[in-house]
Amino acid sequence: MNARPPAIHPVSAAADSFKAAMRQLAGGVSIVTSGQGEERNGITVTSVSSLSVEPPSLIVCINRSCSVLPVLRDHGAFGVNILAAGHRELADRFAGRHGVRGAERYDVGDWIELVTGAPLLVDAMAAIDCTVDSIMDWNSHALVIGRVEAVRLGDGPQALAYWRGDYRDIGES
């Protein structure tokens, strides 16, 4: 067999190659929310991961230049809203693709609060209410560790994922 080995990219090309490589990793789409009233803000992310079960905690990575990060730091709480297949427009809205900023992003969707006061999407696949346990700055991003205070489960049949630069519906059809 004469299979060619995969191309190896030198460090100087690492950033572009790394971005291209990460586009191969499918990720669940979530909206991270924080704040109350006119101070509410949020962002669409694919960088949420469970961290531990005892105590229940998760980690989310947020660009340090993102407008939600100061709100999250000030309020000490945030929500992770795991999106269903029908939430593409909402995901785009919180990703900044509609030119809407800050609290205006919440004009679409039904939002509630559980324990911490963070906005949670009523029809999310799951909504996780967290207090900030710690924040670590790492180069361009902040790693936010959240302690889970409450969970609200939805019942959507399909989740929203992001792969190769586009949304994908996954799950039962």
Report all structural domains of the chain as residue ranges with CATH numbers, in order of start.
28-163 (2.30.110.10)
Q: Which residues contact 162 (CB under 8 A, 6 or more apart)?
A: 26, 27, 28, 29, 46, 168
Q: How confident is the prediction for the chain on average, in pLDDT?
A: 92
Query: In whole angstroms, what is the distance from residue 33 CA to residue 43 CA?
Result: 7
Query: In whole angstroms, what is the distance from residue 157 CA to residue 125 CA?
Result: 9
* Order of strands across the sheet that contains 158-163: 27-28, 158-163, 166-171
Per-residue confidence (pLDDT) for residue 173, from 0 to 100: 65
* Confidence class for position 2, pLDDT limits 50, 70, 90: low
Backbone dihedral angles phi then psi of residue 139, each to the nearest 5 degrees: 55, -120
pLDDT in tens, 36-93: 999 999 999 999 999 999 999 999 999 999 999 999 999 999 999 999 999 999 999 9
Per-residue confidence (pLDDT) for residue 10, from 0 to 100: 61
* Confidence class for position 103, pLDDT limits 50, 70, 90: very high
Mean pLDDT of 105-132: 97
Question: Does the structure show a pLDDT above 80 at 3?
Answer: no
Q: Which residues contact 139 (CB under 8 A, 6 or more apart)?
A: none
Question: Does the structure show a pLDDT above 80 at 13?
Answer: no
Question: Does the structure show a pLDDT above 60 at 16?
Answer: yes
Instruction: Tell me the whole-structure pTM to 2 decimals.
Output: 0.90
Per-residue confidence (pLDDT) for residue 98, from 0 to 100: 83
- The runs of H, that is alpha helices, within the chain are 14-22, 68-75, 88-94
* Confidence class for position 122, pLDDT limits 50, 70, 90: very high
Find where tokens 């990720």 sit.
27
